[in-house]
Structure 1
C-alpha cells in the first residue's frame, strides 16, 4: 500500500513538474522579423513592409506541445542596418501578424505618436485583446508593418521587429 501511494505521488509530481517546466520554457518567446524601408518611400503616405516572422522554435505548433491563450506581450522596433537609423523618421507604425497567405491578419502592436528624436529603438503599444493560437501553430507567419515616414531617408533602412508572445500550457 505504501509503495503504491509513493509511486502515485511520484507520478503526480512528475506530471505536474513537466507542466511547470513546459510553462517556464514555452511561456514567453519572441518572434522576430526584418522589414526594409526603401529610400524611395514617399513621406506622409501609408506604406507597407512585410517579412516572415521567425521564432526560436519554428515547429512550435507541430511538436505535440499543447498551448492556449497565446497573446502578444511586448513589441519593439530597432534599427538593424544602419544601426544608427533614427526610428523618429517614422511618424507612425502598425504591426500585423497573419498566416503566410495573409489570412487571419491581426494587428498586434502600434504607435501613432512617434517622436522625431526617438533614437534607434522604440517599444510599441501592444494589443493583447486577441488570441493568436491559430497563427502560432503555423509553420511560418507573416509580419506586416504599415508606416508613415516623417522625413525622407537617404538609404534603405532595415528594421528589426521583435514580438514577445506569451502562451499557457493547455490542460
Structure 2
C-alpha cells in the first residue's frame, strides 16, 4: 500500500507534467479572430488591404503569469473567412486573398493563409489554404496581433462589407 505523502507526491508530479499538455490543448482550442472591412469604395481588380487586430478568448500567450512557457511550435492549423455584415455577402465577389499575421506595429509579418481560386458562387463562408511553414511563437506572445488581408475584388459591393477571419492555432507542449 502506498503511503499518503508518496501518493500525493506522485499526483503532484503527474499534474505538473500534464500542465504542458493542458496548455497546448487550451491554446489550440480558441482561434484568433479579426473583423475585416471591405469598403464599398474598393476598386475591382486592384490590390487592396484590410487590417484589424486579432483577438482570442485565451489571448494570454505571454510567459509572465501563466504556463505559456510550456508550449512551443505555435502554427496555424486552420483558417476560415465568413461574411458577417451583410451575413449573406457572397465571398465569391473576392477573386483571391492572402492573410498575414504580424506584431501590432506591422513588423515580422508572415503569410498564414491564402486562397487564389475563390469561385464566383462561393457563398458566405470559405475555408482558406493554410501556410503553416512558420512558427508563430513570438507573434502570439505579443500583447496584440495584427491581421491583414490582401485581396482582389471580382465584383464591387454596394455597401461596406464586414468579414470575420478565424485562424486556428496549434501548439506543442515543451518538456
The bucket for the TM-score relative to the shorter chain is: over 0.9
The CA distance in 2 between the partners of 1:63 and 1:170, in whole Å, is 17
What does the per-residue CA deviation read over 1:112-166, in whole Å, with 9 as the maximum and x for residues that have no partner?
0000000000100000010000000001000000000001211110000000011
Deviation of 1:168 after TM superposition, in Å, equals 1.9
Deviation of 1:64 after TM superposition, in Å, equals 2.8
Instruction: Work out the number of aligned pairs and report it.
Output: 171
Describe the SS at the equivalent of 1:55: coil
Listed as ranges, the gaps of 5+ residues in structure 1 are none
Q: TM-score, normalised by structure 2?
A: 0.91
Q: TM-score, normalised by structure 1?
A: 0.93
**Which of 128, 133, 136 matches 2:132?**
128
Taking only aligned residues, the RMSD between alpha carbons, in angstroms, comes to 1.7
The CA distance in 2 between the partners of 1:75 and 1:119, in whole Å, is 16
Match of 2:84 in 1: 80
